[in-house]
Structure 1
Amino acid sequence: MATLHTLSNGVRVVCDPVPGLETVALSVVAGRGARFEDEARSGWSHLLEHMVFKGAGDRSAREIVEVVEAEGGSINAATGYERTSFQIRALAGGLELGSAVLADLIQRPVIDPTDLTREKQVVGQEIAEATDTPDDVVFEMAQGAAFRDQALGRSILGTDASIAPATQETLADWRAALYAPQTLIFAASGAVTEDEVLKLAERDFGQAAGKPIPDASPGAFTGGTETASKSLEQANLVFLLPAVGVRHDDYFPLRLFAEILGGGMASRLFQEAREKRGLAYAVDAYSETYADTGILGIFAGCAAKDAAELAKVAAGEIQGLAERVEPAELARAKAQLKAGMFMARESLQARAEQAAGQVLLFGRLLSTAEIAEQIDAVEAADLARLGASLLAPGKAAVSVLGPKAALKAADAFQNALFG
């Protein structure tokens, strides 16, 4: 059974032993990310994540990966809007080395000025690559329309202009605030013991210091339309509606609403848009939730000539689901949601990440039984209430990228949904 502890400096520690395994997963997660940046520092959290791997403690960039891989391990990191995560996977017995390496990355990166100049160029190439990928661009457009003039509406990567001013000194200051101990979760799963985990957490993170960046401003869904004409084989469409955050009572109704709407091959959108009408090969719905706000989203790729019709179908399916859900599809969605969440727990890295996320958001660990109980408690009336709240503001964020003929899909969706 997983346990939660707190060190004297505020670092929280999760120990999650899984008997019978020969490997471990360690995630050290900071509860800060791109959402905590002002516009002038846009992309700094992601740039910092790159930079810590260029040298930390007494190890060079090459030595960081070589020492981990020499023990059969792997190392990775990711920057999100609300958290930054550093991950180690290793054989049993590799936790001590993994903890020491991650402690250096998070607390003692070198941030050499020459490496920083070079890494800005690398990140610039990453930004350029995303700009050349229609799937990435259309989601960025929709996110920007949904949360205009807010950190949630800006790219996690930042821009060439926003990362250019970062220096060794300013990035070091940003690190101290971004990875402050009060925001850190040390979560270990697999072939571990509580005594070992607590000992290593205290040894490697017990002296961590720094004052965290203040909490982010509440997110406000603004809505709007972003379209761009581009010579592509397909039109790329994203439709977003304002939804609830992960702490809201309607979190699981939102997840189930998205599942029924477009979560799989039996979903309403897949059956109506693809199987019945042949309007799209790819069409799905999803929910994205943050601490205080969220979105219900639909993505589709289709021929330009079908974009407006597909937009109308998407709007119609949202309205129809808001009005009525069939008992069989609600039961199926519950089974799918539980299966997805519980299957993920069979991955040690996912277990560690899930545990860290629960502590960040709720200050405690949630059992699988508690999660299942909350999912099973959702009724049709809860989805009807959620559906009404999705439509009540009369706002949507729509992005369309593709041939000019597809751009009319933006107005088609807005008009079909709100008149």
Structure 2
Amino acid sequence: MSRPSPKATRLPRVHTLSNGVRVVCDPIDGLETLALSVVAGRGARFEDEARSGWSHLLEHMVFKGAGARSARDIVEVIEAQGGQLNAATGYERTSFQVRALKGGLDLGSAVIADLVLRPTMDAGDLAREIHVVGQEIAEAADTPDDIVFEMAQAAAYAGQPLGRPILGTDASIAPATPGALADWRANIYAPDALIVTAAGAVDEDELLALVERDFGGASGQGPAVPTPPVFEGGAQSAVKALEQANLVFLLPAVGVRDEAYFALRLYAEILGGGMASRLFQEAREKRGLAYAVDAYSETYADAGLLGVFAGCAAKDAAELARVAAAEIQGMAAGVEAAELSRAKAQLKASMFMSRESPLARAEQAAGQVLLFGETLRPADLAGQIDAVTAADLEALGATMLAPGRCAVSVLGPRAALKAADAFRQALFG
């Protein structure tokens, strides 16, 4: 059997510029495209209540003009070379991404550097963009399966940054001025939290030279790391004239850095990750209580959530809540070898399949460097998944249930509101 070449197995290295910007290059043989990701390891979690939504507003504003380019120039120059430009704001990171043909690294780096370091911040553009984001906030409020998750998040982390919507509110974004937003940009896009990653048809020496050219002059220091969040729990319910009730149930879990992280991922997979999951089989196939029901894990650097989402008829909401609680308790009591094996296969398949996308690889590398200071070998991660035992899942279940707190959100007809108490009573008596 032939051995893989060192090049094929080499872990992408992390290079650090003198100002703290970190760089990772992940070449993939045989591709004619590349992905470039510039990630700032700060987002909505770093905001105080008065500036809630400013990170997302800033992400919008940098596209209104940056460097010598107008809003139209920014997108046209990328698209003229066959590329695509995008961005996203989360609680703990803000990401700017370019997908391009081979040879598009130079332009992609220059454009994103302008967005991150040299946005124009015109007052007229800001007034218009505040209005646009206000429409985005209104759209989310009109979308049941958006608002019900925001309600659950607010119940889980009441009064804390993780409990506020990433979009902010009309009241919190309205006071933003070009100067204040420029100061906020200098904080959350400071070089100590910037990671530049590229994957696909890329060359490491070229990438390092371009990042030094485009980001080497960045300066400044960002805000302090936020304090760990506290899971408060509680319920948020709202009556709305909908055909279905929308339900979210949350329990406190572990963060990405916790040794039980993969146990949490597997717990969610077995509970409600697919058609063979416990929730799907019990709530949908056996009882016919819901068309959509699934479980998921939401993780941050130092905290996490186990969640269940379902859409059902209002008259079935309380019963569905009791079924969800029973399945969570059942998981804590034990799992079968076959379902644990299936969950491991699904999780590993998802990880390896995503690595076939250059953008996913670039984003994964950035996230790993932000959290661990290095890139991680996929085979090692697969080994950690395989090492999780049924006893680990039982211990995690006991840990999540031990505080005796849950967060529940219910949105829909009045008859569905009893689901919140039904879930809590079924779990904790």
| Global fold match (TM > 0.5) | yes
The alpha carbon displacement at 1:291 in A equals: 0.4
State the alpha-carbon separation in 1 of the partners of residues 371 and 79 from structure 2: 32
Q: Does 1:171 align with 2:173?
A: no
2:240 corresponds to 1:230? yes
- CA shift, 1:210, in A, is 1.4
TM-superposed deviation, 1:270: 0.1
Matched, 1:192 2:202: yes
- 2:205 is paired with a residue whose SS is helix
Aligned match for 2:346, one of 336, 346, 356: 336
Q: Work out the CA distance in 2 between the residues paired with 1:210 and 1:380.
A: 47
Q: Could you say what secondary structure the match of 1:298 adopts?
A: strand
Counterpart of 1:137 (choices 135, 147, 153) is 147
SS for the counterpart of 2:251 is strand
TM (normalized to structure 2)?
0.97
Distance (whole Å) between structure 2 residues aligned to residue 72 and residue 213 of structure 1: 37
Superposition deviation, residue 29 in structure 1: 0.0
Q: How does 1:245-264 map to 2 (within 5 A)?
A: 245-264=255-274
- Correspondent of 2:25 among 4, 9, 15: 15
Query: 1 CA distance for matches of 2:256 and 2:146?
Result: 24
Q: CA RMSD in A?
A: 0.5
- Where does 1:76-225 land on structure 2 (aligned, <5 Å)? 76-225=86-235
Deviating more after overlay: 209-218 vs 264-273 = 209-218
1:66 paired residue number: 76
SS of the residue 1:366 aligns to: coil
Give a deviation string over 1:280-310, Cα, whole Å, max 9, x none.
0000000000000000000000000000000
Distance 1:166 1:304 in 2: 41
In structure 2, the residue matched to 1:285 is 295
Please report how far the alpha carbon of residue 119 of structure 1 lies from its aligned counterpart in structure 2 after TM superposition.
0.3
Taking the TM superposition and a 5 Å limit, the aligned residue runs for 1:313-324 are: 313-324=323-334
Structure 2 counterpart SS, 1:75: strand
2:6 alignment partner in structure 1: none
Instruction: Encode CA deviations 1:75-111: one digit per residue, 9 max, x unaligned.
Output: 0000000000000000000000000000000000000
Q: Which runs of 5+ in 1 are unaligned?
A: none
1:341 Cα offset (Å):
1.1
Find out whether 1:388 has 2:398 as its counterpart.
Answer: yes
Residue identity in the other structure for 1:406:
A
- Counterpart secondary structure, 2:237: strand
Indicate the residue corresponding to 1:274 in structure 2: 284
Distance across 1 between alignment mates of 2:423 and 2:354: 34
Residue 3 of structure 1: CA displacement? 2.0
Provide Cα deviations, 1:53-94, integer angstroms capped at 9, x if missing partner: 000000000000000000000000000000000000000000
Partner secondary structure for residue 188 of structure 1 = strand
Task: Answer yes or no: is 1:370 the counterpart of 2:380.
Answer: yes
Separation in 2, partners of 1:27, 1:12? 12
**Within 2, Cα distance between the matches of 1:146 and 1:391?**
14
Tell whether the 8 Å contact from 2:13 to 2:374 is kept in structure 1 after alignment: no
Q: Alignment length, in residue pairs? A: 419
Shift of 1:273: 0.2
Q: Alpha-carbon deviation of 1:211?
A: 1.3
Q: Secondary structure at the match of 1:87?
A: strand
1:346 is the counterpart of 2:325: no
Q: Distance in 2 between matches of 1:86 and 1:59?
A: 17
Give the superposition deviation at 1:4.
1.3
Residue 3 of structure 2 is matched in structure 1 by none
Deviation at 1:214, TM superposition (A): 1.0
Where does residue 300 of structure 1 map in the other structure? 310
1:217 to partner: Cα distance: 1.4
**How many Å separate the matches in 2 of 1:4 and 1:167?**
36
Alignment of 1:42-53 (within 5 A): 42-53=52-63
Identical positions, percent? 76
- Counterpart-to-counterpart distance in 2, 1:57 and 1:194: 26
User: Which amino acid is the alignment partner of residue 175 of structure 1?
Assistant: R
